[in-house]
Amino acid sequence: MSTCPNCGTNLEGDAKFCASCGYEISPKSINQERDQEYNSTDNAIEPEIVRTPGKPIKERMVAGILAILLGGFGVHKFYLDDMNMGLIYLLFCWTGIPQIIGLIEGVMYLTTTDEEFQERYVK
Ligand SMILES: [Zn+2]
């Protein structure tokens, strides 16, 4: 069953005019009304989706532990979305130097505050 777009009165299946207010019912206006109903149900669902505003929060502890355990392979850099540095660590992992730097960085991550960590290391 359709309703009058003008006054909301229930209409007969093939009514051309609204019996209550005389509004002319065209197939187009009924379709528009259906579209509006469809959109409004979409909007009703939307607030349930939780969105985190701004940049993604990286876990300081996770980055620190990754740097200490897997720092030689640049895993903590990949975790912090620093792909270029991660690749450099990975390229030089056979030298043993990235392991040492990763260990130092891991300790720095773990000893800094969350705010400083986000500011300095998270892009
Ligand atoms: Zn009407």
pLDDT per residue rounded down to tens, the chain (123 residues): 688 889 988 888 778 888 889 888 876 655 555 656 555 555 555 555 555 555 567 899 999 999 999 999 999 999 999 999 999 999 999 999 999 999 999 999 999 999 899 889 886
Ligand 1 center from residue 33 Cα (angstroms): 13
Ligand 1 center from residue 2 Cα (angstroms): 11
Q: Do residue 116 and residue 67 come from a single domain?
A: yes
Ligand 1 center from residue 12 Cα (angstroms): 12
Q: What is the pTM of this model?
A: 0.53
Q: Do residue 34 and residue 16 come from a single domain?
A: yes
Q: Do residue 71 and residue 110 come from a single domain?
A: yes
Q: Do residue 23 and residue 68 come from a single domain?
A: no
Q: Do residue 69 and residue 115 come from a single domain?
A: yes
Q: Which domain holds residue 83?
A: 60-121
Ligand 1 center from residue 36 Cα (angstroms): 17
84-118 exposure pattern, b = at least 16 Cβ within 10 A, e = fewer: eebeebbeebeeeebbebbeebbeebeebeeeebe
Structural domain includes residue 117: yes
What is d(CA 102, CA 65) in angstroms, rounded to the nearest whole number? 10
Q: Do residue 1 and residue 33 come from a single domain?
A: yes
